[in-house]
Amino acid sequence: MVESTRTATLTFDDKTIELPIHSPSAGPDVLDIRKLYAQGSVFTYDPGFTSTASTESSITYIDGGEGILLHRGYPIDQLAGQSHYLEVCYLLLYGELPSAAQLEEFEGLVTNHTMIHEQMMNLFKGFRRDAHPMAIMTGVVGAMSAFYHDSTDITDPHQREVASIRMIAKLPTIAAAAYKYSIGQPIVYPRNDLDYASNFLRMCFSVPAEDYVVDPILARAMDRIFTLHADHEQNASTSTVRLAGSSGANPFACIAAGIACLWGPAHGGANQACLEMLQEIGSVDRIPEFIARAKDKNDPFRLMGFGHRVYKNFDPRATVMKESADEVLELLGVENNPILQVAKELEAAALADPYFAEKKLFPNVDFYSGIILEAMGFPTSMFTPIFALSRTVGWISQWKEMIEDPALKIGRPRQLYTGETQRDYTNVEDR
């Protein structure tokens, strides 16, 4: 951490405390309150972490006001436009873009780890056929620690490296297998002559009776979806991974915790919730009714796929994703798909409505990714698993950064207690 030269003075009761101010390489200054409790016997209160930096990090930078997202300094639109997912994985993990030789070696390494232990196939069969693929993924990824014992020692850098590669390589295989199982089709094994995105599409859509020929436009759109979801700083699931990892839990357990957190509709579950909302709207003529509901304070309904905690002007991922959505829709056509027609009209209606403009609510990345995935033929239940497999590299990079930080401490928030103070137990007959 950069040495701080400035301090802020906090005065309350009869106490005066000097708090160091850290200047980050970008973004607002940060007040260091680590000694606050020791010096002032007070806690800070910030549920939802709206003003709290939980960690120091050099991986991803977001400026929500300006709509900036940088990975290791590189803007997301340049990465999504000119790079590809595995190169971005390398960048997130190791901090720099790879040379041609490094990229070839990294891609070879990931490709050579795409298969999962054959006994893991039995795990899938243990689930009900109608299990949500996220439920299966949470279980199967957590169970990886029961299969890959040689990469669970977090104190060994080589084992950490192997665990990282294994997860990046195997998550698509696991996500596709969860899907195949849920629709009663045989699980398709990976093919290492295909690129990362094409291999995933084939594992999802091919059947033994008929192979799936991957359209390069769809493979490119898939790769962009992976790239645009690769990391997003200290969001809920990443913070979950860090908190789980701070106790020394093995990496597979930590990523399973991240997957569980991502599932919620306010986070990664939003893309599924968004498509379900479009299905519920059903036809273009019902859009005004749903817009009115989203604006009604007494109705808990929200337009899913709209708004963001950090981006208050636009979501830079959504800008790129919209381009991809337009490309895919042009290729596949929307004329006969009422859901996609509703999506297009809803986007236009919300953007033209002053309520959404005033509250700075605009379509986020999940709005457009849902549309693309729907057009590609994915069921809504696969939307969040696809987000999870894309975000795995971000979780791992953040977990590795934390483990390698000599200042690592177990995460242990405090609380503002409002319960009963001490009282005496009474026997049941006396109550």
- Residue with smaller CB distance to ligand CMC, 176 or 346: 346
Is position 304 an interface residue for ligand CMC (rule: CB under 6 A)?
A: yes
- Residue with smaller CB distance to ligand CMC, 213 or 266: 266
Compute the least distance from the CB of residue 230 to ligand CMC, in Å: 12
- Residue with smaller CB distance to ligand CMC, 202 or 322: 322
What distance in Å separates the CA atoms of residue 391 and residue 229, rounded to the nearest whole number? Answer: 6
Q: Return the residue of 113, 160, 224, 267 that touches ligand CMC, per CB under 6 A.
A: 267
Compute the least distance from the CB of residue 198 to ligand CMC, in Å: 25
Is position 277 an interface residue for ligand CMC (rule: CB under 6 A)?
A: no
Compute the least distance from the CB of residue 288 to ligand CMC, in Å: 15
Q: Return the residue of 76, 294, 346, 373 that touches ligand CMC, per CB under 6 A.
A: 294
Is position 270 an interface residue for ligand CMC (rule: CB under 6 A)?
A: yes
Compute the least distance from the CB of residue 311 to ligand CMC, in Å: 8
What distance in Å separates the CA atoms of residue 257 and residue 306, rounded to the nearest whole number? Answer: 26
Is position 226 an interface residue for ligand CMC (rule: CB under 6 A)?
A: no
Compute the least distance from the CB of residue 360 to ligand CMC, in Å: 8
What distance in Å separates the CA atoms of residue 374 and residue 382, rounded to the nearest whole number? Answer: 10
Site for ligand CMC in 195-214 (CB under 6 A): none
Q: Return the residue of 67, 133, 305, 385 that touches ligand CMC, per CB under 6 A.
A: 305
- Residues that are catalytic: 308, 366
Is position 359 an interface residue for ligand CMC (rule: CB under 6 A)?
A: yes
- From the list 181, 224, 430, 200, the residue with the least C-alpha distance to 327 is 224
Closest chain position to ligand CMC (CB): 307
- Residue with smaller CB distance to ligand CMC, 76 or 116: 76
Is position 306 an interface residue for ligand CMC (rule: CB under 6 A)?
A: yes
- Residue with smaller CB distance to ligand CMC, 37 or 49: 49
Is position 389 an interface residue for ligand CMC (rule: CB under 6 A)?
A: no
Label residue 42 exposed, middle or buried (CB < 10 Å: 0-12, 13-18, 19+): middle
Q: Return the residue of 258, 268, 370, 385 that touches ligand CMC, per CB under 6 A.
A: 268
- From the list 364, 259, 344, the residue with the least C-alpha distance to 302 is 364
- Residue with smaller CB distance to ligand CMC, 169 or 261: 261
What distance in Å separates the CA atoms of residue 388 and residue 138, rounded to the nearest whole number? Answer: 10
Is position 364 an interface residue for ligand CMC (rule: CB under 6 A)?
A: yes
Q: Taking contact as CB under 6 A, which single stretch among the options 37-45, 122-130, 356-364, 414-422 is the one that binds ligand CMC?
A: 356-364
Site for ligand CMC in 94-113 (CB under 6 A): none
- Residue with smaller CB distance to ligand CMC, 362 or 399: 362
Residues linked to residue 18 through DSSP beta bridges, in sequence order: 9
Query: For ligand CMC, what does the binding mask look like between residues 232 and 251, x meaning CB under 6 A?
Result: x--x----------------
Q: For every residue of the chain, which 3-state class applies, written as one string?
A: CCCCCEEEEEEECCEEEEEEEECCCCCCCEECCCCHHHHHCCCCCCCCCCCCCCCCCCCEEEECCCCEEEECCEEHHHHHHHCCHHHHHHHHHHCCCCCHHHHHHHHHHHHCCCCCCCCHHHHHHCCCCCCCHHHHHHHHHHHHHHCCHHHCCCCCHHHHHHHHHHHHHHHHHHHHHHHHHHCCCCCCCCCCCCCHHHHHHHHHHCECCECCCCCHHHHHHHHHHHHHCCCCCCCHHHHHHHHHHHCCCCHHHHHHHHHHHHCCCCCCCHHHHHHHHHHHHCCHHHHHHHHHHHHCCCCCCCCCCECCCCCCCCCHHHHHHHHHHHHHHHHHCCCCCHHHHHHHHHHHHHHCCHHHHHCCCCECHHHHHHHHHHHHCCCHHHHHHHHHHHHHHHHHHHHHHHHCCCCCCCCCCCCCCCCCCCCCCCCHHHC
Is position 266 an interface residue for ligand CMC (rule: CB under 6 A)?
A: yes
Compute the least distance from the CB of residue 301 to ligand CMC, in Å: 8
Is position 366 an interface residue for ligand CMC (rule: CB under 6 A)?
A: yes
Is position 347 an interface residue for ligand CMC (rule: CB under 6 A)?
A: no
Is position 272 an interface residue for ligand CMC (rule: CB under 6 A)?
A: no
Is position 394 an interface residue for ligand CMC (rule: CB under 6 A)?
A: no
Interface residues with ligand CMC (CB under 6 A) are 232, 235, 266-268, 270, 294, 302-309, 359, 361, 364-366
